[in-house]
Chains A and B, each alone.
Chain A
Amino acid sequence: MKARKVRGLDPDGPVAENAARIVAVRLDELVSFTPRVFDPAEVEALHDMRIAAKRLRYVLEVTGDLFGPYANVARKRARELQDLLGEIHDCDVLEPRVLRLIDELREEDVAAVEAGGEPVHAGDYRGLELLVVRTRARRRELFRRFLDFWTRLERDAFQARLTYAISERPVPA
């Protein structure tokens, strides 16, 4: 997913002003995947949201201290979200791979039987099918956790608080 362009950046301007513009765009990008991501079948949107969370996390990792205290809380939340969506993505990659492998083994066995031999992969199917079952169950559980996590973020006014935090400039101690 290509990152949205951030307009108005000025290399000679204060770092906090420039960074605030970037965070605002990255935050907007992240939130833009709702409500699509509330549908578990929206695999691509979930994947893109993970990338958006990663981009927000990395910009806050470098610039978070220039803003109000919630910026660093938001950095942690973005990381948690990225990790959770990353695990969902791993399941989305794993299941079709295992299913493809089962198909390949089955085709090899069909060819072997056709040629008058015995299936050579008979011992593989059960374990691979169980892996698909476990992966699918885990994906459902992770998706439920994602919905809970996002609901908590919304309840905690994540977007509004981060937007406010990037307008704050802490006074140096």
Chain B
Amino acid sequence: MARAAAVRLTPDMTFAQAAVLAVGVRAREVWEHGEDVLDTSDIERVHAMRVATRRLRAVLEIFAPCFDRDRHRAVLREVKALADALGERRDPDVQLENLEGVEGVDAFRARLRAEQQAGNEALAAALRHAEDIDLRGQLEALVAEARA
């Protein structure tokens, strides 16, 4: 999995300036990892996007007082929903990986594959929704407003 991009905060920054930088960097990372996440043959893609989404959620929570409350709440809710959908796909991915080479557990494996498929469908819907509501644009607007 890719390492987190550095957020180069300097001691002369205010908390609000740091918020603009941190959320901007973390938001970009989410979409950098967004390619081919629905491909179940490479489970690292969804993992990388999930971790990037968690990091984005973390900076949104850390720097919450620097943003417009209503806009922040709406964006955070959407980021959480995306993270949940990524988690729904990731959990069966990991369990299936842990069962590699384990014999006599086909009944459980079949169930996990069904969950992985359902998780993938939920993730596809969540990605479409993020696109429809322009989550990326909403994050940019949140950052721009804090900068102003």
Chain A nearest CB from B24 CB (Å) reads 12
Rounded to whole angstroms, the CA-CA distance of A90 and B94 in the bound complex is 9
Instruction: Give chain A's interface secondary structure class.
Output: helix
- The 7 lowest CB-CB distance pairs between A and B, nearest first, are A127-B104, A58-B58, A11-B16, A15-B18, A18-B15, A11-B66, A124-B107
Rounded to whole angstroms, the CA-CA distance of A169 and B13 in the bound complex is 13
Q: Which B residues between 75 and 108 are near A, CB-CB below 8 angstroms?
A: 94-95, 98, 102-108
Does B61 sit within 8 A of A, measured CB to CB? yes
On chain A, the number of residues with a Cβ less than 8 Å from chain B's Cβ atoms is 39
Does B144 sit within 8 A of A, measured CB to CB? no
Rounded to whole angstroms, the CA-CA distance of A131 and B62 in the bound complex is 40
9-residue interface stretch from A27-35, A36-44, A59-67, A154-162? A59-67
Residues of B close to A142: CB separation below 8 A: none
Chain B interface (Cβ < 8 Å from any Cβ of A): 4, 7-19, 22, 54-55, 58-59, 61-62, 65-66, 94-95, 98, 102-108, 111
- Measured CB to CB, the nearest residue on chain A to B7 is A62
Chain B nearest CB from A112 CB (Å) reads 15
Rounded to whole angstroms, the CA-CA distance of A61 and B102 in the bound complex is 36
Is A169 touching B58 in the complex (CB atoms < 8 A)? no
Rounded to whole angstroms, the CA-CA distance of A11 and B15 in the bound complex is 5
Residues of A close to B95: CB separation below 8 A: 90, 94
Residues of A close to B14: CB separation below 8 A: 11-15
Is A63 touching B54 in the complex (CB atoms < 8 A)? no
Is B11 touching A9 in the complex (CB atoms < 8 A)? no
9 sampled A-B residue pairs with Cβ under 8 A: A11-B19, A13-B14, A15-B9, A15-B13, A54-B54, A58-B59, A62-B7, A66-B11, A105-B107
